[in-house]
Amino acid sequence: MAERVRLLDVAKAAGVSQGTASNAFGKPDLVRKEVRERILEVARELGYRGPHVMARMLRTGKAGALGVVFPDNLEYAFSDPVAIELLRGVGRECARQAVNMMIISAENPEQAITAINNAAVDAFLVHCYSDDNDIISAIQRRNQPLVCIDTDIAGAAGTVVLDDFAGAEMAAQHLIDCGARRFAILSLQANKAENFGPMNAKRRGAVSHRVVRERLGGYHAALKKAGIAIEDIVHIECENMSSHSAEMVETMLRDHPKIDGILAMSDVIAIGALDGARASGRKIPDDIKVIGFDGIAEGERTDPPLSSIRQDSVEKGRLAAEMALGETQGDNNRVLETSLLVRGSTR
Amino acid sequence: MAERVRLLDVAKAAGVSQGTASNAFGKPDLVRKEVRERILEVARELGYRGPHVMARMLRTGKAGALGVVFPDNLEYAFSDPVAIELLRGVGRECARQAVNMMIISAENPEQAITAINNAAVDAFLVHCYSDDNDIISAIQRRNQPLVCIDTDIAGAAGTVVLDDFAGAEMAAQHLIDCGARRFAILSLQANKAENFGPMNAKRRGAVSHRVVRERLGGYHAALKKAGIAIEDIVHIECENMSSHSAEMVETMLRDHPKIDGILAMSDVIAIGALDGARASGRKIPDDIKVIGFDGIAEGERTDPPLSSIRQDSVEKGRLAAEMALGETQGDNNRVLETSLLVRGSTR
DNA sequence: TTGAAAGCGCTACCAG
DNA sequence: CTGGTAGCGCTTTCAA
């Protein structure tokens, strides 16, 4: 590889100072047209590739990139449909603001901390369920704007969450309206430690993930209002994977054959629930009604199509990116609304 | 915000030279344990946040990130299931090599060029169909390793493509084996210019996108061998969107009601074809057989489940990332194989 | 408008 | 093992 041509070389060859040459590239208005064109011409002749990115970064202190981190599970970003929608929204806003998008990737938490420390970015976006986390501390140590999605983090520059309580309440109320009386709740992971399977009262009381806590609260509120005792509800903690929830549901229906309403905290879980219920010989929605949460596109093509609580994940991502990149203008705590999406699995 | 603490401040306060302080962070083995611990202690007291990323980059010349570009359509990355699988593979390899992943984002080609010039990365990965492209020129101007996926680019450090010809041949042969005789080919976009709708012979001769050219060749080879004249095949160029291909197929079946085999160049297109055929009153696979290309997960849940040519997009992405980040070891032109995936839409 | 020169903060080298 | 120091390539004052 030939030796790199530097701005100074161009300046000398063009007979101008380095400062003027710099302006020819970065602030064309400040250089007389004639001079500017000569500089660009000389640059081309010398094979100058334009200002060195890292040098400019160091000088200006701007990275021109937004860091995106998924601390709970770093490969999750490209596996979960909801995370992908989020990324689509983030990408859209980044494009609008002419900023690149840095996905922080790592195989384990320790490596993630290094990855964060090595990332040349101007701000961070974090999607996670938990808030006590070495990864998050590492981000905060960088002392750059940090916006978190779906959880509250102390000291964050902004927060974008859903009105999860209201959404869950809506879901449960809908199943009640459809005539369900014996409920199972399929929960997302509730704590840092993986502990899948039936949840007893103690575990339900120790939920640390905000999303799970809120949605559980919403479900319970609606069911209680309908005269259903919390103790009569079956609670199961699932991995956010259809194949896993399908198994869980098969087992569950063996132990609790009278269940006629399933409240799933994600559509991915709900889709597995449809499979599990069908495999257990149930007709949906006649024998069991199922409602998910998120409103992902895949829910249109399940058998039967999945009812859900719709959220706008794309907009959630876009908004978060806007907050992270923005000049912290005004309201930094956004709560987005959800809506009921009725499809075949509940009617 | 408080004034930034620099490494020199730490060094002074700890009574060591800047070089030693640097080593305490970056090359701990070179510093006596006792000294190192004092340095780290002092750093903590002073609130030093660790080496400045951009400064280190400038000094070492390493960015610790891989740039990923989708020149054909910059929002495409998070919309197309195949692109997402690709990203998952790229992300996996980046994680393995402890490198972050920079998604180049932009709203238009001009802005994309700026985005590329502003990206602090060590190598580029490009997924595209066309090879003549201002965006690609901009990447090449950076003079960094460039690996391209699904197309050949002159001067690339590496290339990962599919054996598209063989895959397409397999698809067409399968439909023939299933008894189809009157074919329609639903093509991906064939050229830079969008020109959706029926393709005449002239347009078929002017296909610039490698993937389309190869797959078309494969389809034709198998059909010709079965005694079917190319002129009797209906060719339609589709946008890679199910809703679009569904419309196209409805129209097509009105004009060519006897079609009994559909060869789609992507599963996304094929899924729309299923919808369109069903809307036109056809039974699948009895009246029409449909086979896609890619083998995406969504194909399992369509009605009926979609037959396809399976490719391993995750591995494709991973391999490309490995080549881009690697020391250019050995074979830089990989051709991946495909396999036939028979499901309900062809039996 | 243009030129000269001062760093941005760090790592790598070389000498001890 | 440690210290001193050059310089990565650029942008941005400040003066002319």
pLDDT tens digits, one per residue of B154-170: 889 999 999 999 999 99
pLDDT in tens, A188-247: 999 988 899 999 999 999 999 999 999 999 999 999 999 999 999 999 999 999 999 999
Closest Cα of chain A to B226: distance in Å?
Answer: 35
Helix axes A242-255, A267-279, angle to 10 degrees: 50
The whole-number pLDDT of residue B73 equals 83
Peptide bond into A305 cis (omega under 30): no
**Nearest neighbour of B102 by CB, restricted to A77, A102, A117:** A102
* A103 with B101: Cβ contact below 8 A: yes
User: Is residue B74 very low, low, confident or very high in pLDDT (cuts 50, 70, 90)?
Assistant: confident
The set of strand C positions with any atom below 7 Å of a protein CB reads 1-13
Measuring from the CA of residue B10 to each C1', which nucleotide is nearest? C9
Which protein residue lies nearest to nucleotide C11, measured between its Cα and the C1' atom? B59
Cα A47 to chain centroid distance, Å, stands at 43
Q: What is the pTM of this model?
A: 0.94
Residue B59 CA, nucleotide D12 C1', distance (Å): 21
Question: Which of B103, B303, B316 is the best residue to mutate to test the A interface, defined by the most A CB atoms within 10 Å of its own CB?
Answer: B103
Give the chain A residue nearest B304 (alpha carbons): A301
Q: Which of A111, A102, A101, A105 is nearest to A134 (CA)?
A: A111
A183 CB closer than 7 A to any strand D atom: no
Residue B6 CA, nucleotide D15 C1', distance (Å): 30
**Nearest neighbour of B94 by CB, restricted to A65, A105, A143:** A105
What average pLDDT does this structure show over A46-64?
95
CA quadruple B10, B14, B20, B25: dihedral sign: negative
Measuring from the CA of residue A23 to each C1', which nucleotide is nearest? D11
Low-confidence winner among A131-140, A280-289, B280-289 (lowest mean pLDDT): A131-140
> Looking at domain A65-162+313-335, which CATH architecture does it have?
3-Layer(aba) Sandwich (3.40)
**Nearest neighbour of B50 by CB, restricted to A53, A57, A117:** A117
Residue A1 has pLDDT above 50, yes or no: no
Kindly compute the dihedral angle of the four CA atoms of residues A85, A86, A87, A90, in this order, to the nearest 10 degrees. 130
* B54 with A49: Cβ contact below 8 A: no
Chain A hits for B275, Cβ within 8 Å: none
Chain A hits for B95, Cβ within 8 Å: 74-75, 105-107, 111
What average pLDDT does this structure show over B132-140?
89
B60 CB closer than 7 A to any strand C atom: yes
Q: Do domains A7-51 and A164-312 have the same CATH topology?
A: no
Peptide bond into B305 cis (omega under 30): no
The whole-number pLDDT of residue A327 equals 62
Residue B102 CA, nucleotide C5 C1', distance (Å): 35
The whole-number pLDDT of residue A131 equals 77
Output the average pLDDT for chain A: 94
Cα distances (Å, whole numbers) of residue A17 to A6, A23, A48, A76, A199: 13, 10, 16, 51, 72
Q: Retrieve residue B211's tokens.
A: 């993937």
For strand C, list residues 9-28 of chain A whose Cβ lies within 7 Å of it. Answer: 15-20, 23
Count Cβ neighbours within 10 Å for each residue of B314-344 and write b for 16 or more, e otherwise. bbbbbbbbbbbbbeeeeeeebebebebbebb
pLDDT in tens, A6-38: 999 999 999 999 999 999 999 988 889 999 999
Domain residue ranges in chain B = 7-51, 65-162+313-335, 164-312
Question: Which of A5, A100, A322 is the best residue to mutate to test the B interface, defined by the most B CB atoms within 10 Å of its own CB?
Answer: A100
Give Rg (Cα) of chain B. Answer: 26
* B95 with A75: Cβ contact below 8 A: yes
Q: Are A60 and A67 in contact (CB under 8 A)?
A: no
Residue B113 CA, nucleotide C16 C1', distance (Å): 50
Write the single-letter amino acid at A268: V
B69 CB closer than 7 A to any strand C atom: no
Closest Cα of chain B to A95: distance in Å?
Answer: 4
Residue B132 has pLDDT above 60, yes or no: yes
Residue A279 has pLDDT above 80, yes or no: yes
pLDDT in tens, B95-130: 999 999 999 999 999 999 999 999 999 999 999 988
The CATH number assigned to the domain with range B164-312 reads 3.40.50.2300
Closest Cα of chain B to A232: distance in Å?
Answer: 34
**Nearest neighbour of B92 by CB, restricted to A75, A118, A301:** A75
Closest Cα of chain B to A256: distance in Å?
Answer: 28
* B61 with A54: Cβ contact below 8 A: yes
* B117 with A65: Cβ contact below 8 A: no
A22 CB closer than 7 A to any strand D atom: yes
B30 CB closer than 7 A to any strand C atom: no
* A74 with B61: Cβ contact below 8 A: no
E-only strand ranges, chain A: 65-69, 100-103, 123-127, 146-149, 158-162, 183-187, 197-198, 234-237, 261-264, 289-291, 308-310, 333-336, 339-341
User: Is residue B1 very low, low, confident or very high in pLDDT (cuts 50, 70, 90)?
Assistant: very low
B31 CB closer than 7 A to any strand D atom: yes
What average pLDDT does this structure show over A278-295?
98
* A98 with B106: Cβ contact below 8 A: yes
**Nearest neighbour of A63 by CB, restricted to B54, B111, B303:** B54
Chain A hits for B53, Cβ within 8 Å: 63, 117-120
- The 3-class SS string of A201-270 reads HHHHHCCCCHHHHHHHHHHHHHHHHCCCCHHHCEEEECCCCHHHHHHHHHHHHHHCCCCCEEEECCHHHH
Q: Quote the longest CA-to-CA distance of chain B.
A: 87
pLDDT in tens, B7-59: 999 999 999 999 999 999 999 888 899 999 999 999 999 999 999 999 999 99
User: Is residue A329 very low, low, confident or very high in pLDDT (cuts 50, 70, 90)?
Assistant: low
Question: Which of A4, A101, A105 is the best residue to mutate to test the B interface, defined by the most B CB atoms within 10 Å of its own CB?
Answer: A105
CB atoms under 10 Å from CB of A216, counted, come to: 26
Question: Which of B44, B52, B54, B62 is the best residue to mutate to test the A interface, defined by the most A CB atoms within 10 Å of its own CB?
Answer: B54
Closest Cα of chain B to A325: distance in Å?
Answer: 15
In percent, the amount of chain A with pLDDT more than 90 equals 87
Measuring from the CA of residue A18 to each C1', which nucleotide is nearest? C3
Write the single-letter amino acid at A148: C
The CATH number assigned to the domain with range A7-51 reads 1.10.260.40
Tell me the C-alpha distance between A194 and A188, whole Å. 10
Q: What spatial distance separates the first Cα and last Cα of chain B, rounded to whole Å?
A: 68
Residue contacts between A and B (CB atoms, under 8 Å):
142
pLDDT in tens, B223-257: 999 999 999 999 999 999 999 999 999 999 999 99
Give the chain B residue nearest A84 (alpha carbons): B78
Residue B271 CA, nucleotide C14 C1', distance (Å): 66
* A103 with B99: Cβ contact below 8 A: no
Residue A330 has pLDDT above 90, yes or no: no
